[in-house]
Amino acid sequence: MSSRTDLRATLTDPLVRQNPVTLQILGICSALAVTTSVATALTMSVSLTVVLTLSAAAISLIRRHIPDAIRLIVQIVIVASMVIVIDQVLQAFLGEISRALSIYVSLITTNCLVLGRTEAYARHHAPLPAAVDAFGNGLGYSLVLLVVGALRELLGRGALFGHSVLPTVDEGGWFTPLGLMLLAPSAFFLLGGLVWAIRSLRPEQSEAPEHTPPTRTAEAAE
Amino acid sequence: MTALWTLFLTAAFVDNMPLTLFLGLCTFLALSRTPGSALGLGIAMTAVLGVTVPLNHVIYHTLLAPGAWGWAGLPEIDLSYLALIAFIGVIAATVQLLEMVMDRFFPAIHAAFGVFLPLLTVQCAILAGSLFMVDRAYTLAESAVFGLGSGLGFAVAVVLLGAIRTRLAYADLPAGLRGLGIAFVLTGLMSLGFASFAQMASAP
């Protein structure tokens, strides 16, 4: 049976060591699209963590009753129902942020992170570890989102959560906002840099070269 | 006609799914290691988007849209909150059907591209195509053109990235940047390049 330490490892592993975004290549789409400000990044993180935890627990509860052949459809329908609930809640109570996130909340349905974890973990484990694993992965995802969101808002607008931190030139300060930070390419650069930083600290994560150049003959090398 | 052509080009290049809207990035990065697999993914994407967006348009406007049940004397029924589940179901069914048709009639193509098809059920770009169609209130013709254009744009981008990544054999990268890291940086550079299409579109 899983002991307390196992549960803790399940919870903390996905934070950096097994981070869903930087190592498992899961859930990248939304990680980049909603990070132009910390507020949207935070809303998205919370929504995803809630959906992920609830659906992992639900799928784990009925895991012995789902026929193997149609399990994807069953899982997607469960996830989609959760997403509809979250989407309606956001529209009701956080109208402005809900509009800023536009369709990306609905897209949690097809976020590969959700389906990846339910398929890889929740399907084979009891509800409690499944929920803990899902919650840990949600936190790992949130961590990446908040770091990227904070960097982009700070460098792009000189603000955090909409409050001015670095006084910009327009407001009589010294900081010239980097407009590029609010555009699509910078998100890729930041995430690439983040992956590089994590893998420099944890070399065991780095990948083997994907392609090797054709070998030269001995005289050509001379 | 001109409007449709503009929509096609906009969907393919200006609003490029992976590079400017960040959609479908998981498969975009995972399957672009070689141009061959990238081409397979691109073709499958174009086919599925081209079929599902107009199909979902029909379903949304005959069954789910506010007032769609007016003919049955129930004009106040609004089922649009069910759109998400309906779209996902249609996409899953279309992908399954496409796979079976290809397996039966074009086994060679199925052997080459078939492995990518099941992945597309949970591809955010595909679902986003249908959601954008509702959001932007496209007509049936527009949604067909939009689906094909987005699929083509995805295919172009993923094949380009696959070709660039093959050339990385000649680059001596730092260990931490290999694989995913450099793929992100490359995608960022391509995204900068595609941003110039947006400039061209907004120019008079």
Q: Write the pLDDT tens digit of every residue in A8-29.
A: 777 777 777 777 777 767 777 7
Rounded-to-integer distance, Cα A142 and Cα A131, Å? 16
Q: pLDDT band at A212, cuts 50/70/90?
A: low
Residue A51: which domain range?
2-218
Cβ-defined contact of B122 to A183 (cutoff 8 Å): no
Residue in this structure with the two tokens 């329908």, named with its chain if needed: A77
In chain B, what residues touch A189 (CB-CB under 8 Å)?
184-185, 188
Residue B20 pLDDT level (bands cut at 50, 70, 90): confident
pLDDT at A18: 73
CB B194 within 8 A of CB B157: yes
Alpha helices by DSSP H, listed for chain B, are: 2-9, 17-20, 25-30, 35-59, 83-105, 107-113, 124-135, 140-167, 180-202
Q: Could you give the 3-state DSSP secondary structure of residue B31? A: coil
SS3 call for B77: coil
Residue B173, chain A, CB below 8 Å: the answer is yes
Tell me the mean pLDDT in the region B64-85: 73
**Number of folded domains that form chain A:** 1
Q: How far apart are CA A193 and CA B183, in angstroms?
A: 11
Poorest-pLDDT segment among A106-120, B44-58, B63-77:
B63-77
Segment A153-169 shows an average pLDDT of 75
**How far, in whole angstroms, is CA A199 from its chain's centroid?**
17
Residue A132: is it exposed, middle or buried by C-beta count within 10 angstroms (0-12/13-18/19+)? buried
Domain span at B58 = 2-202
**What is the pLDDT, as a whole number, of residue A222?**
42
pLDDT confidence of residue B204: 55
Question: What is the pLDDT, as a whole number, of residue A150?
Answer: 86
ipTM over 0.90: no
Phi-psi region of B65 (alpha: psi -120 to 50; beta: other; left: phi over 0): beta
Confidence of residue B81 (pLDDT cuts 50, 70, 90): confident
Mean pLDDT of A36-65: 86
pLDDT, tens digit (0-9, with 9 covering 90-100), for A84-130: 888 888 888 887 888 777 777 877 877 777 877 887 777 788 888 88
Query: Which of A84, A110, A184 is opposite residue B124, by nearest beta carbon?
Result: A110
Both structure tokens of B199: 């400039």
Cross-chain residue pair A199–B165, CB shorter than 8 Å: no
Most trustworthy range by pLDDT among A30-39, A155-164, A186-195, B112-121: A186-195
Task: Give the phi and the psi of residue B2 in degrees, each rounded to 5.
Answer: -60, -40
Domain count along chain B? 1
Write the CA distances from B160 to B43, B123, B178, integer angstroms.
Answer: 14, 20, 18
Listed residue (A195, A192, A207, A142) closest to B191, CA to CA? A192
A199–chain B nearest CA distance, Å: 5
How much is the CA Rg of chain A, to the nearest whole Å?
21
Global pTM?
0.79
More confident residue, A6 or A2: A6
How many pairs of residues across A and B have Cβ atoms under 8 Å apart?
155
Per DSSP, the three-state class of B16 is coil
Q: Is the pLDDT of residue B114 over 70?
A: no
Percentage of residues in chain A having pLDDT higher than 70: 83
Using 50, 70 and 90 to split pLDDT, how confident is the model at A205?
A: low
CA B33 to chain centre: 19
